[in-house]
Chain A
Amino acid sequence: MAFQFKPSVMLETLPLLAEGLELTIYITLLGLVFGFLIGTVAGLGRLSQNRFNRSISSIYIEIIRGTPMIVQALFLYFGVPLISGVRINPITAGVITIAVNSGAYIAEIVRGAVQSIDAGQFEAGRSIGLTHNQTMLSIIWPQAFRRMIPPLGNQFIISLKDTSLLTVIGVAELTRSGQEIVAVNFRSFEVYLTVAIVYLCMTLSIAKALRWYEKKLMARSSR
C-alpha cells in the first residue's frame, strides 16, 4: 500500500496544535527574559575587576555550555527534587532550563559586545568625570547593545527550537502536541510537517522583527 499525502490532515492538525504552540511561546518568552537577565549579569561578571565574580561567571558558563540542554532539563526535573524534596511542575522546570541555558550563551554575547567597544570610549567617559557605573550604563552599554542584536537574534531562535527538547520532561509544548496527534491518527508525515512549518514561521518572524529593530536603532543615530 503506497503512502498517500493528505493535505487536509495538515489543516485539521493546525487547530489541535494551538495549545502546544501557546505553551512553546510562553516558555520561550519567559525563558529568554530571564535568560537575558542572567546573561547580562554573568557576562558583566566575566568582565568584572573582582576575581570572585569572574570565576563564578566562568564556571556557570562553562558548565552550561559544556553539557546538553536535554540532560540539564532531566537533571532539574527528575534529579534535583530528590535532594530538595520539592517537586516542580514541568513548565516551571522548562522555563528555568531555557533561562539558565540561554543565559550562558547570552553571557558570552554580552561579554563579546562590551569588549568590542573601543577602550577610548570608556576613557572619554571617565575623563569628563562620569563614574565607572555611569560610563558603563550611558556610554558602553548602549553601543554594546546595538552590537548584541544579531547574535541575540540567533540565540532567540536557538532557544525557541530548544523548547522542543522539553518533551522529555513531559511539557505539552508544540512538538509534544504533534506527537500526541500522531499517536491517534498515525499521520506522521502531515503532522510533523505542520509542526515544522509552525516553528519555521516563528523563527522567521523573530529574524524579521530583530532586523526591523536593528534598523530602527540605526535610524535613531547614524551608527
Chain B
Amino acid sequence: MSDTSSMIEIRNLYKSYGDIEVIKGVDLSVNQGEVVVILGPSGSGKSTVLRCINRLEEITSGSIVVDGYDLYAKETDINYVRSEAGMVFQQFNLFPHLSVLQNITIGLIKVRKMDKAEADKIALSLLDKVGLPDKATSYPDQLSGGQKQRVAIARSLAMSPKVILFDEPTSALDPELVGEVLDVMKKLADEGMTMVVVTHEMGFAREVADRVIFIADGVIQEEEAPDEFFSNPKHPRLKDFLGKL
C-alpha cells in the first residue's frame, strides 16, 4: 500500500481529556523494520501516543497514517488497520474464558475468516515460537505472568501484523519473568518486525532499539540512536530522568 518505507507517520498530534491536554504536538515516523522505544516519566503521555496509533484513543487533532492508511479518513476500515497493527498490553488482556489456543485463533477465525484447522496450525507454530508449545489447552488463569504475556504476543502475531505496539509489556511482571518476555521481543526485532515499545527497560532500549524517544510533558524532548541517547543526553529533563534510574 505505502510506497515509502514508512510504517507509521504521526503529524502534529494533540490529545486532550476534557480540559487537560496530555499530548501537545507530537511528530513521529517509524520506518518499516525499525524498533522504536519510547521512554518517559509516568503520566507523560507515552502510552497515550501508542494507543492513538491503533485508535484505541481518539485524537483531538493531527493526523496518523499507518501503512499508508490514514486512520481518520472516511474510507479507512479501522478494523482492518487494527488487525495489521498488533497491540500488547501491560495487563496482558488475554480472554479468560478461552483456552490459550482459542485466544490466538479467534482473530484468524473471526477477522481473517480462516477455517479452524488452519488457524490451529498457525497458533501452534506461534506457541512454539514463544516457547509455550505445551500450553495450547491451558486457560490464561493457569499461566504465569510471563507466559500470559508471551501468549498475548502470539495472539497479536497471529494476525501477521505489519507493526506491533507494546504498551509497557513487562511492567506488570515479577522481575524474574521479565527476561522471558524480552527474549521473545528481541527475537521479533531480529526477524525485522516493526515495533514501537513503551517500556522502562533501559537494557532492552539500549540493546534492541534503533531509536529511543524521550517523551515528557506531552512532547518529544529527545530522539536519538541508543548510544547517543544514553551516553550523551542533552535535554535537562532526560538527564534528570536517566539520573533517577
What is the interface of chain A, defined by CB distance below 8 A to chain B? 118, 120-121, 123-131, 134, 138-139, 142-143, 146, 221-223
Question: Do A126 and B82 form a contact, CB below 8 Å, given A138-B110, A223-B139?
Answer: yes
B107 touches A221 (CB 8 A): no
A134 to B83, CA, bound (A): 13
Bound: A169/B97 CA distance, A: 45
B89 in contact (CB, < 8 A): yes
Q: Which of A123, A124, A129, A146 is the one whose CB lies under 8 Å from B97?
A: A146
Is the beta-carbon distance between B93 and A128 smaller than 8 angstroms? no
Of B80, B93, B94, which is within 8 A of A123 by CB?
B93
- Residues of chain B at the chain A interface (Cβ within 8 Å): 54, 56, 79-80, 82-87, 89, 91, 93-99, 106-107, 110-111, 139-142, 152, 155-156, 158-159
Residues of B within 8 A of A130 (CB): 79, 106-107, 110-111
Distance from B74 Cβ to chain A, minimum over Cβ atoms (Å)? 17
Contacts of A221 in B (CB 8 A): 96-99, 139, 141
Chain A contact residues: helix, strand, loop or mixed: helix
Q: A221-B98, A222-B142 are in contact. Are A129 and B107 (CB under 8 A)?
A: yes
Give the docked Cα–Cα distance between A208 and B152 (Å): 37
Contacts of B89 in A (CB 8 A): 120, 123-124
Contact of A128 among B91, B141, B156 (CB under 8 A): B156
A-B pairs with beta carbons under 8 Å apart, 27 shown = A118-B93, A123-B56, A123-B93, A124-B95, A125-B95, A127-B54, A127-B56, A127-B156, A128-B86, A129-B79, A129-B82, A129-B84, A129-B107, A129-B111, A130-B79, A130-B111, A131-B79, A138-B106, A138-B110, A142-B97, A143-B96, A143-B97, A146-B97, A221-B99, A221-B141, A222-B141, A223-B97
